[in-house]
Amino acid sequence: MQPTAYVQRRQMEGLDRARLEDHQLQRLNALLGAILPSNRLYAQKLAGCQIPLAHLYDLLQFPFTTKEELLGTGADGCFAANRTYPRDRYLRFHRTSGTRGRPLTVVDTAEDWRWWLDCWQYVLDAADIGPSDRALMAFTYGPFIGFWSAHDALLARSVPVVPGGGMSTVARLELLAASRATVLFCTPTYALRMAEVARQRGIKSAAFALRRVVVAGEPGGSVSATRARIEEAWGAQVVDHCGATEVGPWGCGDHEGRGLRVLESEFIAEFLSVDTDKPAAAGELAQLVITTLGRYGCPVIRYRTGDLVRPTWELSGPNRFVLLEGGVLGRADNMMIVRGVNIFPSSVEQILHGFPEVVEYRLTARRVGTMDQLFVEVEDRLNRPGRIADELRLRLGLKVEVRTVPLGTLPRHEAIGKRFVDERR
């Protein structure tokens, strides 16, 4: 009898490093054999490289891929330049938000979309979601990938889905209560926003049937203070997830809440030291580089994601996929060096969400002379910014200007939070 898909996923998680790398090498060579030479981007980039690879470390001979390369040029430039097949082969259409430049349109074949759903099953396993659950999807259902693949992955395991697109927060709260949904899918920022509106309207957590909140889109799900705040507000366990339109659903929250696991059965992860751009050691701050193994229609090979992480490899236990402690710590273009100290917006979030009286905040980075400077605005029920400044100085090792603003005056967000304003550029 063939093992079930669930058993196969558990077996993959438990592989030792040598067997896992053998699996990755076989998958990578199969992908390269299938996409070359019809994938014009990679036929050009990999010309002269030895293929198939004899060892996984031979991947280091390949050049990196950047988002600028995927954006493409010319009349067809709105579509990702890494397509393998003619356009009529593609079924799914999604687009990046464009918050970091020109939006990128990424398309997927039916087979690739099936792969997306298979990757999502790891996340649903971690959240222990099954047919007895009911999931409410609190996202826009626009061209941004959002939770589209989660929606279809839930249906694939016979979990009823309640779509919550195009609704106000109040309407979503009413739908959440009326549907008796047991799982909420949203960004960490929106989970907190929904809880805030529920409190304002006097709606108690007992009105809901939630037991899980699955979050993605920003680091908060792996920021312990943010995760604790969401869990306290909803009386439900938070499960983190990470992915990208151009890459796929590559990360799943660790069962113990320590960070994210890279789904190494479906992705090859490399880690480049921020200081040297060489392979990073365990626990070292590194930029994440990803190669997809199952997305043939729009593959990415050695893609520099821009995400900053700290990898740890475990040699025993039921899950030996690489662990990113604390999840995605930030992005390379958001990292600030303030008086010699590396600071990420997520580090400030961890501290501020540790104050239960802080309702909302905004962090601004400015260049003063040749130095980066931080300024923090907070909605603080106690109106005592000094204690917050003291904690920031203690935890970050530098002085940060903190000022309070009236409650309800800072922006609220119904998707990815925009609490970091970078004026250095």
Mean pLDDT of 146-153: 93
Closest CA to 143 of 106, 176, 172: 106
Alpha helices in 313-415 (DSSP H): 345-352, 385-396
pLDDT, position 1: 40
Kindly indicate the confidence band of residue 101, based on its pLDDT and cuts at 50, 70 and 90. Answer: low
CA 86 from centre of chain: 29
Q: Which CATH number fits domain 335-422: 3.90.1170.40, 3.30.300.30, 3.40.605.10, 2.130.10.10?
A: 3.30.300.30
Where are the chain's structural domains? Answer: 1-331, 335-422
Mean pLDDT of 175-189: 96
Mean pLDDT of 372-391: 93
Non-local (6+) Cβ contacts of 15 within 8 A are: 23, 320
- Residue 242 scores a pLDDT above 70: yes
By mean pLDDT, which of 73-87, 139-153, 179-193 is the weakest? 73-87
Handedness of CA 77, 83, 89, 90 (dihedral sign): negative
Q: Which amino acid is at 363?
A: L
Mean pLDDT of 14-21: 97
Mean pLDDT of 209-238: 93
Kindly indicate the confidence band of residue 237, based on its pLDDT and cuts at 50, 70 and 90. Answer: very high
3-state helix, strand, coil in the chain (%, to 5): 35, 25, 45
Kindly indicate the confidence band of residue 343, based on its pLDDT and cuts at 50, 70 and 90. Answer: confident
pLDDT in tens, 349-366: 999 999 999 999 999 988
pLDDT, position 103: 81
Helical axes 169-179 vs 188-200, angle rounded to 10°: 90
Higher pLDDT, 192 or 141: 192
pLDDT, position 99: 54
- Superfamily holding 1-331: ANL, N-terminal domain (3.40.50.12780)
Contact 222, 259 (CB under 8 A): yes
- Residue 335 scores a pLDDT above 60: yes
Q: 297-336: string of b/e by CB count within 10 Å (b at 16+)?
A: bbbbbbbbbbbbbbbeeeeeeebbbbbbbbbbbbbeebbb
| Most confident listed range (19-33, 321-335, 369-383) | 19-33
Query: Residue 67 CB: number of other CB atoms within 10 A?
Result: 19
pLDDT, position 74: 47
- Residue 407 scores a pLDDT above 80: yes
pLDDT above 70: percentage of residues in the chain = 96
pLDDT, position 368: 76
Mean pLDDT of 156-165: 96
pLDDT in tens, 268-284: 999 999 989 899 999 99
What is the pTM assigned to this prediction?
0.89
pLDDT, position 77: 54
Measure the CA–CA gap between 180 and 159, rounded to whole angstroms. 13
pLDDT, position 75: 46
Contact 65, 325 (CB under 8 A): no
